[in-house]
Amino acid sequence: MALQDEGDYGWVLDYATTEAVKSAGQNAADLVVRLTSDPLLQREGAEVVRQTMATETTRSGARQAALLSLSADGAIRAMVGGTDYGDSP
């Protein structure tokens, strides 16, 4: 169940959607999902991944990168699965 055109938030929204469906079922009525992601950290994390890949690709040979930021209690603060959500499988 991929969410399209979500920009830097696509990865965390896909994960939240998958987990909500696992917990509540596909057709749960009036489901409220509260995310622990931080919009500023999400945007900054996505930008760091893009910048790192733009400058480090030739040196490391990596074609993709990811970032996961957790708070001390294990809550997801930022999740980035690559340089461009639209290009992700």
Q: Give me the DSSP letters along 52-88.
A: HHHHHHHHH--S---EEEE-TTS-EEEEE-SS-GGG-
Rounded CA-CA distance 6/80 in Å is 12
pLDDT at 1: 37
| pTM of the model as a whole | 0.78
Mean pLDDT by runs of 10 across the 89 residues of the chain is: 60 92 88 91 92 78 89 97 78
pLDDT at 2: 42
Domain ranges of the chain: 35-89
Q: What is the mean pLDDT of the chain?
A: 85
- For residue range 21-42, what is the model confidence (pLDDT) as tens digits? 999 988 888 888 899 999 999 9
